[in-house]
Structure 1
Amino acid sequence: MAETTERVLRLLGLLQQRPVWTGPELAERLGVTTRSIRRDVERLRALGYPVQATQGIGGGYQLGRGKALPPLLLDDAEAVAVAVSLRMAAGGTVSGASEAALRTLTKLDQVMPPRLRGEVRAIHDATQTLDHGQATVDGEALLRLARSVRDGVRVRFRYESRDKTPTRRTVEPVGLVATGRRWYLMAYDVDRDDWRTFRLDRMTRVEPTTWRFRTREHEDPAAFVQRGVASAAYRFQARVLVHAPLREVAERTSVRSVILTAVDDRTTLLEAGAESLYALAFHLSLLGWEFEVQEPVELRDSLAELGGRALRAAGES
């Protein structure tokens, strides 16, 4: 059985090297009969590889395009190239691509030999990129956290809070979320007995343990992180009624900075946070619609002061 499996993999490798092979050519390369080649081709088809066979001059076996994506067979150089590309994509800003790249990288890392992991790490460490304002995240730490989420094991790391206070954390990770500029981890903090959101750029010495855990009930990591990023992590939190439909408000705001809820067809509740009331006032003024501040009351004073400055700048009394 092992010999047959090895031969099928070799057959797949040959089909990926050239557009068309005849049955006798494949049989000669693999040291078997053409009948064995036909059986091995059927095994590949059963695995999801669309191997096409044509008769006549110029005919033979050809690896075509299928409806689903079957497993790939990569040599060492191809595996390293794919892993490096995935590491770069995992730190990118394309919507959805970062998360998909990390999931794929985690699967590839699971089967990659240690010697190839070393090559990938060396290339990654020697490469610099322009981050366009993104927070720098250690690629190895990102991969360790992804493995821990996949395997359901606790993780220990050092964490720096917003006020620069260093702490040591032990958590049960359940999801990684990329917002475009930053990566976040949703995890159950064992020592604080509660769910928490952690920024990966504030983590150091990320070390998975051997302690496996049973996942507790929790909400969707993306929703949990969005709520924390949009308001809970800031000094001031605001609730504002915007007199515009939710769809239109969503087009002028970002899911990374606000939480939107439709009140009715013409009104949207906007929740957002900031370190400064003036920053909130400025961004609300840029929306271009009428709005009412529900809370905090102090935001109204900041809006009045900002409006007064604008009037004086325009030459109005």
Structure 2
Amino acid sequence: MLETSARLLRLLSLLQAHREWSGAELAERLRVTPRTVRRDVDRLRELGYPVNASSGTGGGYQLGAGAELPPLLLDDDEAVAVAVGLRTAAGQGIEGIGETSVRALAKLEQVLPHRLRRRVSALNTFTVPMFRTPQGQLDASVLTELANACRDSERLRFEYRDHGGSTTRRTVEPHRLVCTERRWYLVAWDVDRSDWRTFRADRIAPKPPHGPRFAPRTPPAEDLAAYVSRGVSTRAYAAQAVIRLHTSAERAAQTIGPSDGVLEPVDDTRCLLRTGAASLDVLVIHIMLMGVDFEVVEPQELTEHITAIRDRLSRALAPAG
């Protein structure tokens, strides 16, 4: 009986880890006959696990969705990763996720073997997070609704609040969610404007019903993270610039985040920064606070503005005549 129970747990673990298994593959993994696999699958069904089976050449077994969440079987590394991920999520800016993550973490740590609890405890005790304070709380249900619409290729309707507080109705074909250390963004095709747009998720108020389904379009860029970074750090601002920084892209990335600009390596000692700000004055302050030597590549107006500021500072430092 003990051997059978252990085999059932192993079978359940395999079904949870892979989208679909053939009977022969499961028999090989479990070192039993295909007939034993069929009997074990029937036992799992009796215990309430919805194991779906399909016949034919490409057929096999697949764990389906049930009315209740079945116990998850995790190996050591998976359990540690989930525990650390839950603790990290507890400090992020998604409304409701923090408390939920703490509850889930408490349940997980309660059943962790002592050896794994020590690993998780060491990671948590001797790791200091350096996340920026989240700006704006995002309802977890909104994030889930957006993700589902992306997955199902279903048109999405929502009210969107812009930076100035004005609200507009939007109908989009959602493509992907992109997250930074501070915010979540939705990349979508705006139906009314016939163009790709990036929306801050915490400013979205979904207005169902959604639909109909649509055929996914070619995304606006191969690297969506860079695309969103350019949008929120450069294209959204009136004053835009390309700056050559006298430091490597790796070192610059330690202080310049995706919301601050897009970094492009030039060589081992230089990189380009594409950034923007509400005005040239703000842009100059933004660049100076980086604490790195730089050259203005474009626009010429920024060079002239920096020259004017330099002359003003020189006059302020000159001895009184």
Q: Normalised by the shorter chain, which TM-score bucket?
A: 0.5 to 0.7
The Cα offsets for residues 1-45 of structure 1, whole Å up to 9 and x where unpaired, read as xxxxxxxxxxxxxxxxxxxxxxxxxxxxxxxxxx3x432320211
The alpha-carbon deviation at position 258 of structure 1 amounts to: 0.9
Q: Secondary structure at the match of 1:264?
A: coil
The Cα offsets for residues 124-155 of structure 1, whole Å up to 9 and x where unpaired, read as xxxxxxx9461232332222112212222111
What is the alpha-carbon distance in structure 1 between the residues aligned to residue 294 and residue 88 of structure 2? 43
What amino acid maps onto 1:268 in structure 2?
A: C
| Map of 1:150 onto structure 2 | 151
1:280 equivalent in alignment to 2:283: yes
| Map of 1:66 onto structure 2 | 75
The Cα offsets for residues 187-217 of structure 1, whole Å up to 9 and x where unpaired, read as 1112222111011232224435142222211
What is the alpha-carbon distance in structure 1 between the residues aligned to residue 309 and residue 259 of structure 2? 25
| Map of 1:46 onto structure 2 | 11
Contiguous gaps of at least 5 residues in structure 1:
1-34, 50-62, 71-83, 105-130
| Map of 2:230 onto structure 1 | 227
The alpha-carbon deviation at position 161 of structure 1 amounts to: 3.2
Retained in 1: the 8 A contact 2:173–2:190? yes
The two structures have a TM-score, normalised by structure 2, of 0.59
Q: CA RMSD, aligned part only? A: 3.5
What is the alpha-carbon distance in structure 2 between the residues aligned to residue 305 and residue 88 of structure 1? 48
Retained in 2: the 8 A contact 1:260–1:268? yes
What amino acid maps onto 2:232 in structure 1?
A: V
Retained in 1: the 8 A contact 2:94–2:139? no
Equivalences for 1:159-174 in 2 at 5 Å?
Answer: 159-174=160-175
Q: Secondary structure at the match of 1:171?
A: strand
Of stretches 203-212 and 228-237 in structure 1, the one that deviates more from structure 2 is 203-212
Contiguous gaps of at least 5 residues in structure 2:
15-71, 80-85, 105-131
What is the alpha-carbon distance in structure 2 between the residues aligned to residue 227 and residue 248 of structure 1? 19
The alpha-carbon deviation at position 274 of structure 1 amounts to: 0.5
What is the alpha-carbon distance in structure 2 between the residues aligned to residue 64 and residue 202 of structure 1? 37
Equivalences for 1:1-317 in 2 at 5 Å?
Answer: 35=1, 37-48=2-13, 66=75, 69=78, 91=93, 132=133, 134-207=135-208, 209-218=210-219, 219=221, 220-312=223-315, 314-315=317-318
What is the alpha-carbon distance in structure 1 between the residues aligned to residue 273 and residue 10 of structure 2? 53
What is the alpha-carbon distance in structure 2 between the residues aligned to residue 252 and residue 309 of structure 1? 29
Cα distance change, pair 303–240 in 1 and its aligned pair in 2 (3 A): same
Retained in 2: the 8 A contact 1:92–1:180? no
Cα distance change, pair 229–64 in 1 and its aligned pair in 2 (3 A): closer
Retained in 2: the 8 A contact 1:182–1:199? yes
The two structures have a TM-score, normalised by structure 1, of 0.60
Cα distance change, pair 139–92 in 1 and its aligned pair in 2 (3 A): closer
Retained in 2: the 8 A contact 1:184–1:198? yes
